[in-house]
A = this chain, B = another copy of it.
């Protein structure tokens, strides 16, 4: 069961991401939607969600759904795809991606970008953006844009399917993966992905909101670490007393 609303205007690109590690891809797409003042052009409901609705603080009921936005930027136009979570089953992931790519193809899209995370498992220093694509020629473009071309590994979930299934409908697919620790929501990872995307697609936006988000997150993390370090000191101070007690 799926339901599409509204007409989808012409577009050159599809840029998509659903939630994943560090929310890197999702943050990046949401940032584009906000900065480009994109219009909501389709909502996709899926029986792959649990049968559950949420009541918002304003009292209005909310049903989980995927969303497709449309934005213009100079001479370029883009569809922006996002959603609240990964679908619950692999089959639903394939089917939803297939539906979204069909909508994109019908709108004239010829290049599909997935935005995702490249998990380091530790704080990134270099903040490189890694990439893969569906044709060798695209990899040359990635290199010129400063993207590190991957030479192995796998991409799990719907963010992998979005770009990789593009050739089935004769579109190009590119995946940009921003380095992230993976254990916190990473606005800087999202920013680096967007900067690489700007070099590739010409769609450049202001990143100050992501910077502010990152600054806030850093402050919160620093405060937490100072707190932890104080507790560690305090526990050192009490230890002698504790040992006296034992001895």
- For chain A, the bracket of interface size reads 35 or more
A50 touches B90 (CB 8 A): yes
Within 8 A of B (CB), among A17-47: 43, 45-47
- Return the contact of A55 from the options B61, B155, B168, B169 (Cβ within 8 A): B155
A48 to B1, CA, bound (A): 15
**Quick one: given A52-B156, A90-B49, are A59 and B136 in contact (CB under 8 Å)?**
yes
A134 to B163, CA, bound (A): 34
CB distance from A182 to the nearest CB of B (A): 18
Prevailing SS type, chain A contact patch: mixed
- Return the contact of A133 from the options B54, B59, B153, B173 (Cβ within 8 A): B59
A91 touches B139 (CB 8 A): no
Complex copy number for this chain: 4
A136 touches B53 (CB 8 A): no
The answer to whether A237 has its CB under 8 Å from any CB of chain B is: no
Q: Could you say which residues of chain B place their CB within 8 Å of the CB of A136? A: 58-60
A132 to B56, CA, bound (A): 9
CB distance from A20 to the nearest CB of B (A): 12
Q: Could you say which residues of chain B place their CB within 8 Å of the CB of A47? A: 90-91, 93-95
Within 8 A of B (CB), among A148-204: 149-158, 160-161, 163-165, 168-169, 173, 175
B53 touches A160 (CB 8 A): yes
The answer to whether A63 has its CB under 8 Å from any CB of chain B is: yes
B52 touches A154 (CB 8 A): yes
The answer to whether A241 has its CB under 8 Å from any CB of chain B is: no
Select from chain B the residue with minimum beta-carbon distance to A54.
B154
A61 touches B163 (CB 8 A): yes
- Return the contact of A93 from the options B51, B61, B168 (Cβ within 8 A): B51
A61 touches B157 (CB 8 A): no
The answer to whether A110 has its CB under 8 Å from any CB of chain B is: no
CB distance from A112 to the nearest CB of B (A): 11
A135 to B56, CA, bound (A): 11
The answer to whether A98 has its CB under 8 Å from any CB of chain B is: yes
A46 to B48, CA, bound (A): 17
The 3 A-B pairs at the shortest CB distance, nearest first, are namely A47-B94, A51-B93, A59-B149
